Each structure stands twice: as structure tokens, then as C-alpha cells.
Chains A and B, each alone.
Chain A
Amino acid sequence: MKSFLQEVNEKINGVPVQRCYHCRKCTAGCPMTQAMEHNPNRVIKMIQMGRREAVLNSATIWLCVSCETCITRCPNEVDIARMMDVLRQMAIETGVGAKEKNILKFHEAFLANIRRGGRINEPSLMVEYKLKSGDLFSDMAMGLDMFMKGKLSLISPRTKDMESVRRIFEKTRQS
């Protein structure tokens, strides 16, 4: 059986994470450490130690905003932002799910919206996210204000060749 480290490296398909020499520059520049239970450097250590469950079931991997500051500054070119994507995908694929449920629900609503119209329609995305998350009332006043200003377009142009968009979703579907 492959180790957690091997699996993560294969999916990153680039510089192996063990090239990290723990200088923690990633962590010093990370805008989200304030909200994470494990900082980015610690996630690398945990992967090396095989702590699969703790990593995949962490809020950290969902809170990463993909600002790419870590990979920009890493002296060893370890792509930590890509690593976080890989870990999120592993959490989904292995059925661990998302510790930060609403973040995944937002992503799901977003992709469902593309799948339906080829392009995002912001009001229907918000409705879909709210129904999925149960977070019905936040931002209502702001949404109404935006609507009154004419900033929200209830109907927006869609992609015509939806067949090609659906085909992409079908063929990239993860088991």
C-alpha cells in the first residue's frame, strides 16, 4: 500500500514535498494561518508522518484561499497551494468530506451553476448556496441593495453550446 506521502506526491505531480527543509517561509507569509488549526508547514510535516486522517479531516485544507504566496516564496519550489488542492480532492474522493462544510457547499453550488448554464449567474448561485448551506439570511440586505442599484442581473447570457460544457463535466467526473 502506498504511503500518504507517496500518494500526495503522485497527485501533485511536481516537486516532492519532502524537498521542504522547514524554513517556514510559507507559513510566515500565509494570510490564513490566523484561522487554521495547522499551519502550512505543519501540514507538510503531518503528511511526512503519515497522518492521513488528521490532515484530510482538517479545516486548514479548506481555509487555504489559494493566494499562492507560499509557492511564490518557497526556496525549494514545493507547490503548497497545489498540495492543498490535492488534499481537498483526496478528502472528497475518500469520503472524509469537508471539515468546513459551507466552503465545499459553495464550491458545489458554483460548479452546479456552470454545469447548468455554462456561465455563473450570481443571483441563482447565491440562492443555490443558501439552500445547500442553510445559511438563509446573511447578506440579504446587501443583496437587496445591490438589486435596487441594478448591480444584480437576474438573467444573464448563457453559453449556447451546452453540450460541450456538459461533456467536460461528464468526462472529468470523479468516482
Chain B
Amino acid sequence: MLKVSYYPGCSLHGTAKEYDQSVRSVSRALGIDLEEVEDWSCCGASSAHSTNFKLSIALPARDLITAEKKAQDVMVPCAACFNRFKTAEHHLCHDPALKAEIEEIVGGRYQGSVAIRNPIDIIVSDIGLEALSAKVVKKLAGLKPVSYYGCLLLRPPEVCHFDDAENPVLLDRILTTLGAEARPWSFKTDCCGGSLTISKTAIVTKMVDKLMKMAREAGANCLVTACPICTANLDMRASAGAGLPVFYFTELAALAMGQEGTEGWFKLHQTDPRPLLKELKLL
């Protein structure tokens, strides 16, 4: 059993509840024991760093200091929270004056002692693809996803320290292990405009449509992400008829592992993925 702290973040308690539930379900099956960070607060996301630098470090610092009370890695499934945590860690470890000031603001000492991890990393590095493969009971044959990593898991690389910033492959490997035919494409790390999805919808729709068009050209029948903001944005903002189904990678892992409850998650999607999955006899 691998014990890790778990920081769901706000989205996973709301519009991304299927990500939360599928992460928990897949973790349980893979022997990852999740212990929620006690009384966590929001990381501040784009809105904090866009308008107030110190706030953008202090908010995640509060959660990191709490997480440090348990000597275990912290899993952060939301790419945006992951990025804010890694950014706070980066600044706190490289700027002693700022660290002192933030500690005073938050009222606690930051040691830098726990590793901030996303679930792709934990599954590939700690559990291993062989162990994942051993749990697959229903190969996702016929499913042709493109992996969409987006921005916040990867950039900047000296902060995120995850996969290859220009050509990441770990999500593709997970999908291949699940029996899906991950399609190569050139838009794995292109931004979908998620942070402006509410305030500048027209611009964002253009960005999402382009990604959908390129996914289709790559021969994909769906997109797979590890980010609630990308997922909400891709799933909701495509022009009528342009969208493909969008999955969290953990939903597909649960499906391939024959877990219960997957259909309840798929029902929540804006672009209903069930017709595709039924056509492929996966549901």
C-alpha cells in the first residue's frame, strides 16, 4: 500500500467531481491510499497570481505547510493546483527572504519536505505500467484518444519537473497500457485558453475548435486530459458539432479495470461519450 496525501482542490468538489471519484476509485484499485489534506483551502489559481504575487504564494503555502505534518508525498490531480503548488515550492526554496515573509503571513514553517506529485506521475513511477496492465480486464479497443496535457502540468519545466515539456509521453503510455490506440498529434501541449473561458468566451471557442479539428485530423475519436479546467473548457466551449468526447484519464482507467460507476461519470459530460463507448462495445 502506498500512502499519499490528497489535495483535491475546489474543482474536484464541484464540476470535476467525476475526476475526483475516478481518481479515488483507480487509486484504491492500484493500492494507493489517499489521505485528504486536512482543512485545505484554495490554491488561488490564475486569479491570485494574475493580481497579487504574495497571495499566490501564501495560499498554496498554507496547504503545503499542513501537508508537511504527514511525511508523505501529496497527490494533486488538478493541473492548475499542481502548477500553483510547484510554483510556490519553487519560490519558497529559491528565495529565503520571500520564504520568511510568507511564513510570517501564513503562521507556520515551510520545510520543503513533501514531494508534490500529479497522479500520472504516481501511477507511472510508483505503481508502474506493468501493475496497471495487470488490472486491465477490458482493453479499450477501438478507442483512439489524443493525449491532451495542456500547459500547467508541464510548464515551466524547471518548476514542474514532469515529463518532457515539448513532447510529453506518459499519458500516452497509460492510455496504451489500457488498450487504447493513442494517436500521435502535435497539439499535446497547446493551450486551450481555459483561464479565460468565462470572461473571453469567443476567443476561447476558437482555440478549442482548433484543437478539436486537429484531434480529428490525427484520427482521434476522443481527447484525454488530466486537468479539470482543460476538460471543462474543451467539453463545453467547442462550437456546435465540432466537439469530440473528452475524458479524464482516470475515468478510462476505471473503465478498463472494469470498475463500477463509470457510466454515472460519463452522464455528467457535456458531450455525451456514451454513444461512442457503446458503439465500441465498451459500455
B-binding residues in A (CB < 8 A): 13, 31-32, 34-35, 63, 65-69, 71-72, 79, 81, 85-86, 88-89, 92, 100, 102-108, 110-111, 114, 118-122, 126, 129, 133, 138-139, 142, 145-146, 149-153, 156-157, 159-161, 164-165, 167-169, 171-172, 174
Chain B residues positioned under 8 Å from A139 (CB to CB)? 198, 201
Among A121, A150, A172: residue with most chain B CB under 10 A: A172
Q: Knowing A85-B50, A122-B15 are in contact, say whether A34-B206 is a contact too (CB < 8 A).
A: yes
Point out the residue from A63, A67, A126, A133 that lies within 8 Å of B151, measured CB to CB: A67
- Looking across the interface, which residue of chain B has its beta carbon closest to that of A161? B39
Q: Knowing A71-B156, A164-B106, A167-B105 are in contact, say whether A110-B47 is a contact too (CB < 8 A).
A: yes
| Known interface pairs A72-B165, A150-B268, A172-B55; 16 further A-B residue pairs with C-beta atoms within 8 A, sorted by A's residue number | A13-B95, A63-B200, A65-B196, A66-B50, A72-B166, A92-B51, A107-B47, A120-B10, A120-B42, A126-B198, A129-B198, A146-B15, A151-B15, A151-B17, A160-B39, A172-B52
A-binding residues in B (CB < 8 A): 10-11, 13-15, 17, 39-42, 44-55, 58-59, 62, 95, 104-107, 151-152, 154-157, 165-166, 189-191, 193-196, 198-201, 203, 206-207, 236, 267-268, 270
Chain B residues positioned under 8 Å from A107 (CB to CB)? 46-47, 50-51
Q: What would be 10 A-B contacts, judged by CB atoms less than 8 Å apart?
A: A31-B190, A65-B191, A66-B49, A72-B165, A105-B199, A152-B14, A153-B17, A156-B10, A159-B40, A164-B107
Q: What's the least CB distance linking B138 to chain A, in Å?
A: 25
Chain B residues positioned under 8 Å from A108 (CB to CB)? 47, 51
